[in-house]
């Protein structure tokens, strides 16, 4: 899939009156040799795209479940380079968009230009870097643009409206709306102000707005998606996959669309 097709793939789903469901998985939590099979499984279960986490030793945005998955992956020797090499090996067969979620340190160590070029070579469609603030994003933005890779921005509920508007106007692919004040992880409820926040973001951008962090059930997915274009589901899926409960993942995704 061409890197220019992320917008098109998401738009097509929305035009069919489908909400966008983007599952998060940790690269290397299961052997990298299984990655192609995992992505195909998620696509067949209704995923519009997959957010693929790169393990990192200091994952400031991640809750315990994803931290544990990252630690397991690091113990298996997973690196940013090994993930990109694996993605490149089956990029011609892949039709689901892949979005890398990584922190700035691995990108900085790799070299922003090399990172962007290797992402393009591997067929990566988008990149999320949660610890890179708006004011510093020039570190990677131009290199990603030159390689036609969408740079997806995160919006936080605690940010003032003026900042949210800037983030929303600059985002590419979609706007990742953080629906909690805190790290990732399953939640039983969301703040009552979340829907107003999501609707506000919808007014700031013509890109799809997806709610993430703390989405753990299909009912939560439906509730949040009433105010936006879909959801990102992470910790629950990571747990299910770690426990080998693929049927639970399939059911969650199919019921959330």
Q: Which of 7, 36, 37, 62 is catalytic?
A: 62
Between CA 168 and CA 31 the distance in angstroms is 36
Environment class of 71 (CB within 10 Å of its CB; exposed 0-12, middle 13-18, buried 19+): middle
DSSP lists the bridge partners of residue 20 as 230
Rg (CA), the chain: 17
Question: Would residue 62 show up in a list of annotated catalytic residues for this protein?
Answer: yes
Phi, psi of 196 (to 5 degrees): -60, -40
Between CA 21 and CA 254 the distance in angstroms is 9
Question: Would residue 118 show up in a list of annotated catalytic residues for this protein?
Answer: no
Q: Which of 7, 12, 37, 51 is catalytic?
A: 51
CA atoms within 13 A on the CB side of 165: 4
DSSP lists the bridge partners of residue 154 as 176
- Active site (catalytic) residues: 51, 62
């Amino acid at each position: 899939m061409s890197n220019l097709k992320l917008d098109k793939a998401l738009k097509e789903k929305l035009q069919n009156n489908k909400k966008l469901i983007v599952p998060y998985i940790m690269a290397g939590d299961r052997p990298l040799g299984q990655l192609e099979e995992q992505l195909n499984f998620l696509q067949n279960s209704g995923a519009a795209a997959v957010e693929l986490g790169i393990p990192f030793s200091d994952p400031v945005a991640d809750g315990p479940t994803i931290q544990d998955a990252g630690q397991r992956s690091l113990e298996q020797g997973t690196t940013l380079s090994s993930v990109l090499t694996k993605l490149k090996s089956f990029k011609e067969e892949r039709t689901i968009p892949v979005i890398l979620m990584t922190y700035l340190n691995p990108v900085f160590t790799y070299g922003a230009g090399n990172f962007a070029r290797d992402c393009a070579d591997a067929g990566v469609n988008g990149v999320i870097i949660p610890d890179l603030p708006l004011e510093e994003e020039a570190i990677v933005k131009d290199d990603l643009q030159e390689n036609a890779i969408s740079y997806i921005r995160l919006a936080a509920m605690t940010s003032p409206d003026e900042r949210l508007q800037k983030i929303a106007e600059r985002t590419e692919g979609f706007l990742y709306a953080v629906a909690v004040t805190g790290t990732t992880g399953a939640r039983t409820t969301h703040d009552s102000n979340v829907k107003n926040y999501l609707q506000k973001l919808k007014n700031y951008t013509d890109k799809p707005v997806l709610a993430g962090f703390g989405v753990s059930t299909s009912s939560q997915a439906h509730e949040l998606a009433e105010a936006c274009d879909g959801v990102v589901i992470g910790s629950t899926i990571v747990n299910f996959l770690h426990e080998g409960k693929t049927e639970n993942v399939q059911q969650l995704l199919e019921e959330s669309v």
